[in-house]
């Protein structure tokens, strides 16, 4: 079983619990909520409102992007998450897909949101996922990626409640964005004072 299969099985098993814990989470997270609002405004400004929420989970952020004026759709590895998202947001489109091979044509999107969806990907594979996200962005398109940030020199594996995950030194992740040809132009680091001690890291980049 590869790590994607393990992640899929893990999320398939916690859909209702995850949705009950996280589907309204941004109501109490003004930093993340406003960063997503900024992303949506910038995507609208490109004139191409088509946007993918990759690793969308229960679909709540796809719905938020839709409410913010984007033509948003959600993609996730977990069929049970996709099923939940479709039932929770019947007017929106959700499909089962892997971030490793997005079912989207080259250069089609004004924006890609990857909110805590690459946290389970082994660090060595993250550049390939970012390159795949770049492939589907139109010139001028925006990527907002959010993850657990740390100060240390290397990504650190930790026991996330659902599946093993990795926290990232923020500068290292920013270098990956630059490495796939994106211009990294904004970052928001928020200390949620959680027991785990990670920062909420949000990086916003644009395809030239």
Ligand X SMILES: C[S@@+](CC[C@H](N)C(=O)[O-])C[C@H]1O[C@@H](n2cnc3c(N)ncnc32)[C@H](O)[C@@H]1O
**Interface with ligand X (CB under 6 A):** 4, 7, 11, 22, 55-57, 61, 76-78, 81, 98-100, 115-117, 119-120
Residue pair 23/117 in contact (Cβ under 8 Å)? The answer is: no
Q: By C-alpha distance, which of 76, 74, 58, 60 is closest to 111?
A: 74
- Please say which residue, 30 or 45, places its beta carbon nearer to ligand X: 30
- Please say which residue, 22 or 138, places its beta carbon nearer to ligand X: 22
- Please say which residue, 12 or 140, places its beta carbon nearer to ligand X: 12
Strand spans (E) along the chain: 50-54, 71-76, 93-96, 109-115, 137-150, 156-158, 165-169, 183-190, 199-206
- Please say which residue, 72 or 119, places its beta carbon nearer to ligand X: 119
112 φ/ψ angles, rounded to the nearest 5 degrees: -130, 130
* b (16+ CB within 10 A) / e for 37-58: ebbbebbbebebbbbbbbbbbb
Q: Smallest distance, Å, CB 79 to ligand X? A: 9
CA 180 to chain centre: 17
- Please say which residue, 50 or 115, places its beta carbon nearer to ligand X: 115
Residue pair 99/132 in contact (Cβ under 8 Å)? The answer is: yes
Which residues contact residue 190 at a Cβ distance below 8 angstroms, ignoring those fewer than 6 apart? 31, 32, 199, 200, 202
- Please say which residue, 22 or 186, places its beta carbon nearer to ligand X: 22
């Amino acid at each position: 079983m590869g790590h994607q299969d393990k992640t899929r099985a893990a999320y398939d098993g916690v859909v209702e619990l995850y949705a009950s814990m996280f589907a309204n989470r941004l109501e109490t997270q003004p930093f993340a909520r406003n960063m997503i609002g900024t992303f949506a405004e910038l995507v609208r400004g490109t004139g191409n409102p088509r946007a993918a929420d990759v690793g969308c989970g229960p679909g709540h952020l796809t719905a938020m992007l839709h409410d913010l004026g984007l033509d948003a759709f959600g993609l996730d590895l977990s069929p049970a998450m996709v099923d939940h998202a479709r039932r929770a947001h019947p007017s929106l489109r959700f499909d089962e897909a892997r971030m490793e091979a997005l079912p989207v044509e080259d250069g089609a999107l004004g924006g890609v949101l990857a909110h805590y969806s690459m946290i389970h990907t082994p660090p060595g594979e993250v550049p390939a996922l970012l390159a795949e996200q770049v492939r589907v962005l139109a010139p001028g398109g925006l990527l907002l990626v959010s993850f657990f940030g740390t100060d240390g020199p290397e990504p650190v594996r930790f026991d996330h409640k659902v599946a093993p995950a990795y926290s990232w030194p923020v500068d290292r992740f920013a270098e990956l964005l630059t490495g796939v040809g994106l211009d990294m132009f904004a970052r928001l680091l928020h200390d949620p004072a959680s027991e785990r001690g990670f920062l909420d890291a949000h990086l916003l980049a644009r395809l030239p």
